[in-house]
Amino acid sequence: MTRYYFHVHEDERADFDPVGRELSDDQSAKREGLAMAGMLIEDLSQKTRGISNWRLDVADIEGRLVCRFQFSVRMPNVTQQ
């Protein structure tokens, strides 16, 4: 088992994962990262207005980048009439 870290970046702000998760291999870490990115997008689509650029980096315990998910959330400012 290897420890993997899931670091979230929004524009210039970063939230580094201090704990990580024990997973069996890089493929498991990639799948976990993809699931986390999906949850982020779903959550952000309900909260974000305007444009927000995000990145989720998955790294192993040595700091090696295993994969990166980049996405933008663009939600129009809708006014109810």
Domain residues of the chain, as ranges? 2-75
Q: What's the pTM value of the predicted model, to 2 decimals?
A: 0.82
Q: Which residues pair with 68 in a beta bridge?
A: 57
pLDDT for the residue 56: 96
Residue in the structure block whose two tokens are 């980096």:
57
Determine the Cα–Cα distance for residues 70 and 14; give it in Å rounded to an integer.
Answer: 13
Q: Which residue has the higher pLDDT, 26 or 48?
A: 26
Per-residue pLDDT band for 41 (boundaries 50, 70, 90) equals: confident
pLDDT for the residue 79: 53
